[in-house]
Chain A
Amino acid sequence: MWTYAGRRLLLAIPTLLGASIIVFAMVHLAPGDPIAAVMPAESSQAEIEATKKAYGFDKPLAVQYLVWLGRVAQGDLGRSIATRRAVILDVRDSLANSLVLALSSSLLAFGIGTALGLLAAFRQGRWLDKAASAIAVIGVSVPHYWAGIILIIVFSVWLNWLPAMGAADGGGPLAYLRHMTLPTVALALIPLGVITRVVRSAALDVLNQEFVLALRAKGLAARRVFTHVVKNSAPQIFTVLGLQFGFQLGGSVLVEAVFSWPGTGYLLNLAIFQRDIPVLQGVILVLATFFVLLNLAVDLLQTLVDPRIARH
């Protein structure tokens, strides 16, 4: 098992390096002079020279990459063109907001999804199962940015219950909670659908195992069957939850744009329209690193829970 964990860790390194190459390439992918991609237009000649040196723009691409990677390793992601602040600061501030939203929506989806999935499995074929499946399909099919707009119209404008945008900066925890409610719901729709489906099928698998069928035939208490089902499908469910959390972190761009939620997605969207390439790079690099590490953690945890996987 430990060798598996070690191998998995080693595999993450080339993946991360590959991801960093893609992020690095973005400066050169953007049309125009790379110096223009990373510097404000009104920079003085001295500033331009300094940046050229820092980035090594006069050197071959491979060297530039290594120079850049070295700076990234020290936490230097360059400066934002728009705010002239260190990118790492901007990303750090917005990452906290995105993490909160990813966590809250994952938990919401997890809670409702698990309940629906289990209910559906135990009532297989009945109307409850059908309703749960319908909710699951709707969840994965609805364009969540559109759902976000509808939520704003209903809850912010018509009912005036919840705020429509932003993250109640400085308004205390309750205000923050109010602000995050609608984006959380909009963002939870897709994982809700996914988790409901996975839980239902995982629970059905356990329920259809012969010994469980036997247990049920023997009249074993429903509660014990339920415990058994939950215990045996838990690893799979948690894996999905972990992965969904990662997707939420990257997938929130559209929802954050609709709700002006000051997270990484909002920052990314702004950076794109301001052509703020350093910020674009910073956000993507940090999120990708986060995503890889999260997948790694999910994998390792899964192995810990179910050592059979390592043999695979």
Chain B
Amino acid sequence: MKRVVTLLLALVLSLSLTGLACAQGTLRIGMTASDIPYTGGQTDNGFEGFRFVGYQIYEPLIAWDLTRGDRLAPLVPGLAESWEVRKDQPTKWVFKLRKGVTFHDGSPFNADAVVFSYESIKKKDAPHFDPYGSGQVSFRLASLTGVHKIDDYTVEFETNKPTSFVPYQVCYMLIVSPAQWQKVKDWRKFAEQPSGTGPYKVTRFVPRERLELEANKQYWDSKRRPKMDKLVLLPMPEPTTRLAALRSGQVDWIEVPPPDSIPQLKGAGFQISMNSYPHNWTHTLRLDKEPWSNKLVRKAANYAVDRVGICKSLLNDTCIPATGVVYKGHPWFGKPKEIYEYNPEKAKALLKQAGFDASKHPVKAVHLISTSGSGQMLPLAMNELIQKNLKDVGIDVDLQPVEWNTLLTRWRAGFKTADNEGLNAWNISWNFLEPWSGFGRFFHSKAVVPVAVNTMPYINPEADKLIDEAERTFDVPKQNEILARLHELVVDDAPWIFVVHDQNPRALSPKVKGFVQPQSWFVDLTAVTVR
């Protein structure tokens, strides 16, 4: 008997020791996505897909500088060395491409690759059109109407109108290897053996489980050659699972740790990294149908939500309350008339004014929410609290949770599909990295589904005018002023329930060094080391 016990003990010990041997210069990340983001170029799963898959394997012509944490991340040259709008024809933009860059498969990057990538997104009848990838990204490139090659290292983009937003759209177009696609001639197969120019290349792809990448030793920018050898991405939609995986040493980095665990994590020597970034967490309301078609009801909902409670108590200071699309202090904030604080009495009064009554004629709505996802923070707990807040003033919201990517797919299709007809809102977090993402795609009457994602739809001629004006304005301070006026308008119309701005908390093991959290949705992993 004794021998058996000794043997068992030895077994357990040896089993636990093997855990220490692995992980040398390997960074293992627990993501919030429930599946590996699409690796075939134009990635999915929202910006988490861009963060860990899109911008690591591939590169855009214009990239984000993510090396600093003390300012909003600016755009810098990526695969293009320079770009400018043609003075004679303001709908044409000339891009000079970087020379000497090769894809992971060894083929050269050139103007053909840019045209090929563009066509895979925009040209529906091209043999290399990627319907899935196109669905993910084409709404981000809404102004682009064409591209053609001038010479091997110069391309010219064409837009539907003169617009200053072009660089902000081009930065989402990831350049894929035409040579690799020609080899497999199928986007599904391409996604299993992808080829881009980014600092990491895929070595192993296990659907739903893990994506393994290794450093691209030939990366063109010697300053950004990865310091670690390997990057492993693991989908972990459940926050508790991420936390347990971090604490038991199975991963070195997790996105969005459960806020409750942050003090303990700090106490145990883990690093908690946070920074503000252009993020808002909202309920985007359906405006062509009761109850949210009524502006008073929308305002009431905005006064009913206890944002401070959410940030201080529920989320342990990992977010700040949102009273608009952008936060106070942002150049686009302006001076909105309505400052939405927690004021249930005012909410009740507004509802009464709108003709609703908590007992006889309550407001009823169905909101589609996600169970997890990029920028979604802790959707279930937060929504349960919001549901309670709204209920307190007489608004009954039925929450329908679905998987994150499913929510995105349904959202892009708009409210008017068979699946979505019964819905009154979706809870999705947005970015306002640039004017188009922040305002244009939501608040312009020309941006309704399927052109872009004004799903509500928000139709306001004044907003159209301001967006068009901002788009025509190439001078940034002037553009900011116009956008601030637009923001005042939107906040007063309350087409969303504004809730919070995330601080993007992530927890890192003490072994992870050299990471700077930028004021952005994306990260630069090239300077990170794991000891």
Give the interface of A toward B (CB within 8 A): 31-33, 36, 40-44, 47, 82-85, 90, 93, 149, 152-153, 156-157, 160-167, 169-171, 174-175, 177-178, 181, 260, 262, 266-267, 270, 273-275
Contacts and interface: CB of A to CB of B under 8 A. Distances in A.
A47 B131 contact: yes
Contacts of A165: 236, 241, 244-245, 250
Given A174-B18, A178-B16, 18 more contacts: A40-B409, A41-B409, A41-B413, A42-B132, A43-B131, A84-B132, A152-B244, A162-B16, A163-B19, A164-B245, A165-B241, A166-B245, A170-B204, A175-B19, A175-B22, A178-B18, A262-B209, A267-B208
A82 B34 CA distance: 10
Interface stretch (B299-307, B309-317, B398-406, B451-459): B398-406
Given A32-B418, A36-B418, A267-B208, A41 B244 contact: no
Contacts of A160: 16, 247-249
Given A161-B12, A165-B244, A41 B18 contact: no
Interface string B262-305: 00000000000000000000000000000000000000000000
B36 to A, nearest CB: 8
The 8 A-B pairs at the shortest CB distance, nearest first, are namely: A42-B135, A164-B244, A273-B403, A156-B248, A161-B16, A274-B403, A164-B248, A41-B409
B201 to A, nearest CB: 17
B207 A85 contact: yes
Contacts of A93: 207
Contacts of A266: 208
A275 B402 contact: yes
Interface in B381-415: 402-403, 405-406, 409-410, 412-413
B131 A162 contact: no
Interface of B: 12, 14-16, 18-19, 22, 34-35, 124, 131-132, 134-135, 188, 204, 206-210, 212, 234, 236, 238, 240-241, 244-245, 247-250, 371, 402-403, 405-406, 409-410, 412-413, 418-419
A121 B34 CA distance: 48
B249 A274 contact: no
Contacts of B245: 163-166
B241 A177 contact: no
A171 B19 CA distance: 10
- Residue among A43, A82, A84, A175 with the most chain B CB within 10 A? A82
Contacts of A177: 15
* A interface majority secondary structure: loop
A157 B247 contact: yes
Nearest to B136: A42
A118 B413 CA distance: 62
26 contacts: A40-B409, A41-B410, A41-B412, A41-B413, A42-B132, A42-B134, A44-B124, A83-B207, A85-B207, A90-B208, A93-B207, A156-B247, A157-B247, A160-B248, A160-B249, A161-B15, A162-B15, A163-B245, A164-B247, A165-B244, A166-B209, A166-B245, A178-B15, A178-B16, A270-B403, A273-B403
A174 B15 CA distance: 7
A260 B241 contact: yes
Contacts of B188: 84-85
Given A82-B35, A165-B244, A262 B418 contact: no
Contact of B244 (A157, A174, A181): A157
Contacts of B212: 170
Contact of A273 (B19, B250, B406, B419): B406
Given A84-B188, A177-B15, A273 B402 contact: yes
Nearest to A94: B208
Contacts of B236: 165, 260
Contacts of B403: 270, 273-275
A56 B402 CA distance: 29
Contacts of A167: 209
A157 B248 contact: yes
A182 to B, nearest CB: 10
B249 A270 contact: no
Contacts of A43: 131
Contacts of B402: 273, 275
B405 A274 contact: yes
A83 B44 CA distance: 11
B208 A275 contact: no
Given A163-B248, A260-B241, A270 B135 contact: no
Contacts of A153: 244
A303 B14 CA distance: 44
A40 B412 CA distance: 12
Contacts of B204: 170
Contacts of A90: 207-208
A93 B209 CA distance: 11
A36 B410 CA distance: 11
Given A83-B208, A164-B244, A169-B210, A42 B131 contact: yes
- Residue among A152, A177, A181 with the most chain B CB within 10 A? A152
A36 B209 contact: no
Contacts of A157: 244, 247-248
B405 A166 contact: no
Nearest to B206: A169
A307 to B, nearest CB: 39
A40 B18 contact: no
Contacts of B132: 40, 42, 84
Contact of A178 (B19, B134, B208): B19
A273 B210 CA distance: 19
Contacts of A262: 208-209
Contacts of A36: 418-419
A267 B235 CA distance: 13
Contacts of A156: 244, 247-248
Contacts of B413: 41
Nearest to A178: B15
Contacts of A166: 209-210, 234, 245, 250
A40 B131 CA distance: 10
Contacts of A149: 240
Nearest to B133: A42
Nearest to A171: B22
A274 B212 CA distance: 23
A153 B261 CA distance: 13
A296 B6 CA distance: 41
B248 A83 contact: no
Contacts of B244: 152-153, 156-157, 164-165
B267 to A, nearest CB: 13
A266 B241 CA distance: 13
A106 to B, nearest CB: 20
A83 B209 CA distance: 12
A260 B188 CA distance: 25
Contacts of B248: 156-157, 160, 162-164
A97 to B, nearest CB: 10
Nearest to A89: B207
- Residue among A32, A47, A163, A175 with the most chain B CB within 10 A? A163
